[in-house]
Structure 1
């Protein structure tokens, strides 16, 4: 993006990325209170359809937006620093934090999860390895947990580096045709339909048509496909950024309403899948996956455009939340599980417990950031040198956006 002509737009995207990171707290608290089958092996005794709807709602756009923005900023880094500079930056901001934080977070999260599982099964705190879910034969006891995003994003960055290095072997007309193809899909009102179709095909092989992250160090192809298409779209968005971001801003309300229509269709199809007439619905997983991924594309475009249009600047509060968001993303699972354990036997309803857990996890994460991270080498590792200074000066746009 030409900074001389659009000095604020990168702040808009940075604000959006911070919000998506913070929504991870809401999403993982909601998982504690699901009424439907949970992706995690623990559950609070108080459940609510509100939790079901929050999970479905946030999951529909949170990671798609993340990967679109990730692809955009990787392309931005390549434009400014070259392929080697981009890979060095991604290694320092993604691979190194993963290597440093994954081991202690894995141990702590596993211990807390075992206590929560013991509570779920027996009603009292404790640890019993016999209660942990059985692994498939030959399966690894280790996984990337919620850090799977860092893990996948680094490998996408490495693939982008290889693609830049090998592009000289691809005719220019082919490269331009691919770039024009993505631009056409982004600017045409029907483009989301084409983009949702391949994800509907891959989603059809998953229960209820939804690709859920396994956290595996060797994710299946469908997970790479799900994340990769959004990443590649973000990469090509950077190529025609001024025109497309302005277009998304102008259409943000229309994209949001259209996404709502497909979200309601997803809920209706899920109800039909588990209802008495399920046998009469041909290929239900495909149609659920199509409606849900159409929602993902439309709401991703709506959020990007909405932030460009309505939150183009970064004030002191937004800058602080943006700087703290990486740390919050890393440690928030400890809070959502830990406070879930503390609230397990509280005489409160599910919604009240969720609110308390979200507030407590947010405050604990912010306090730990302020006291242990912001002005320390850890803050420099996560956000770059300027973000950790007590001077309060905002980081330069390029450093702030490339830092995570």
Structure 2
């Protein structure tokens, strides 16, 4: 399987990155409390439910796949080669896009807040730097933050850590490494292992309201967030090393995974309600929610991996296009969700109608901008490792296949 391209995992990675549009539209229409300073005038509890469900698996799946592909890059080259690749595909796009996105998003958020306060869009520059929230333990969200790009910021840090960790592992005895690998394979390969893997995640989550880890966006890594996402990255790394048996198991037990995921997710919603009613002491309530919620997270994550391995493993042209566009969509989609949110704020539509319209318009804007500005340009080569050529008539030349996985963004 050394030279095999994992189209199914490419397609799944594209899905979780595209889901950012749905998530960041839904957050504007939450009926419950929100840490963000902007919100539409129309709200619905369906937005809360959708947000909780997507949050349950989106980030974990991303980091599991990121760890998987990082381990694959190490196997095909070495740790230094993997780091060099990630610097090109992650650090450079982050450095180039973050300043532009920070300015644009700050202005759009300012306009949104003014629209909420006065009923008219406008700019109040005195508000810049004051729109903080308190999602993470230890203080407010910093004004200068990583935005939604914290995904790739943390991923880059994990990849950089692989070098000192690999040197440390080289100094350990073969017996210790064999035992460590055996423990990892046992935890990942057995259903009860997921119950144990949820324990450290629950301990981290218990430090957050309702047991859910949410990013603070700080450039100084938050230890809670770093440990939480790091567990998924490490599991993804180990998944690559025992991928054949795991892929077979997830495929074989696909519908059992789905059933268990639904049951645990429903149980986590029940735990939310229990916590709201104050039946349990605050810390114990958060711990209970975090444990059940993270059990659901593992089940959803492995279910979606198995689902795509079974039904979306081919080199489909449409899915290939969406996968190629997903990095660009991830980078710029917040401009669309915020911009169209402002335009729709006073529209005579229900919350669900606004969510649907915003999602469609943002998706179209992202696809059109990708096709016109990115796919055939140097930006496309920066993000995906290749620039699709045009022939002299302006039509796309049909290639012989998708680029090698080493050129994917991870």
TM-score (norm 2): 0.93
User: In structure 2, what is the equivalent of residue 249 of structure 1?
Assistant: 251
User: In structure 2, what is the equivalent of residue 179 of structure 1?
Assistant: 181
Structure 1 unaligned blocks of 5 or more: none
1:36 aligns with 2:67: no
User: In structure 2, what is the equivalent of residue 213 of structure 1?
Assistant: 215
1:12 aligns with 2:13: no
Q: Map 1:84-95; keep pairs closer than 5 Å.
A: 84-95=80-91
Q: 1:121 to 1:55 in 2, by over 3 A?
A: same
Measured after TM superposition, the shift of residue 314 of structure 1 is 2.1
Aligned counterparts of 2:271 and 2:387: Cα–Cα separation in 1: 49
Q: 1:118 to 1:281 in 2, by over 3 A?
A: closer
1:233 aligns with 2:235: yes
Q: Map 1:5-84; keep pairs closer than 5 Å.
A: 7=4, 10-84=6-80
- Partner deviation per Cα, 1:305-364 (whole Å, 9 max, x = no partner): 111111111211000000000000000000000000000000000000000000000000
Q: 1:38 to 1:282 in 2, by over 3 A?
A: closer
User: In structure 1, what is the equivalent of residue 359 of structure 2?
Assistant: 358
Q: Secondary structure at the match of 1:283?
A: helix
Aligned counterparts of 2:265 and 2:45: Cα–Cα separation in 1: 16
Structure 2 unaligned blocks of 5 or more: 391-395
CA contact (8 A) 2:257 2:300 kept: yes
Aligned counterparts of 1:308 and 1:236: Cα–Cα separation in 2: 18
CA contact (8 A) 2:131 2:143 kept: no
CA contact (8 A) 2:66 2:236 kept: yes
Measured after TM superposition, the shift of residue 121 of structure 1 is 2.2
CA contact (8 A) 2:31 2:48 kept: yes
- Kindly report structure 1 stretches of 4+ aligned residues shifted beyond 4 Å: 134-140, 279-282, 386-389
Measured after TM superposition, the shift of residue 253 of structure 1 is 1.3
Aligned counterparts of 2:333 and 2:140: Cα–Cα separation in 1: 30
1:158 aligns with 2:154: no
Q: CA RMSD in A?
A: 1.8
Measured after TM superposition, the shift of residue 124 of structure 1 is 1.4
CA contact (8 A) 2:67 2:233 kept: yes
Higher mean C-alpha displacement, 217-226 vs 100-109: 217-226
- Partner deviation per Cα, 1:182-204 (whole Å, 9 max, x = no partner): 11111111111001011101111
Measured after TM superposition, the shift of residue 280 of structure 1 is 6.5
Aligned counterparts of 1:41 and 1:96: Cα–Cα separation in 2: 30
Q: Which of 109, 130, 133 is matched with 2:131 structurally?
A: 133
User: In structure 1, what is the equivalent of residue 393 of structure 2?
Assistant: none
Measured after TM superposition, the shift of residue 155 of structure 1 is 0.5
- Partner deviation per Cα, 1:282-305 (whole Å, 9 max, x = no partner): 710000000111111111011111
Measured after TM superposition, the shift of residue 134 of structure 1 is 5.1
- Partner deviation per Cα, 1:206-232 (whole Å, 9 max, x = no partner): 111111011110132110111000000
Q: Secondary structure at the match of 2:253?
A: helix
CA contact (8 A) 2:205 2:213 kept: yes
TM-score (norm 1): 0.94
CA contact (8 A) 2:112 2:342 kept: yes
User: In structure 1, what is the equivalent of residue 2 of structure 2?
Assistant: 2
Q: Secondary structure at the match of 1:308?
A: helix
Q: Which of 196, 199, 202 is matched with 1:197 structurally?
A: 199
CA contact (8 A) 1:255 1:302 kept: yes
User: In structure 2, what is the equivalent of residue 342 of structure 1?
Assistant: 343
Aligned counterparts of 1:142 and 1:250: Cα–Cα separation in 2: 46
User: In structure 1, what is the equivalent of residue 301 of structure 2?
Assistant: 300
- Partner deviation per Cα, 1:364-384 (whole Å, 9 max, x = no partner): 000000000001000000001
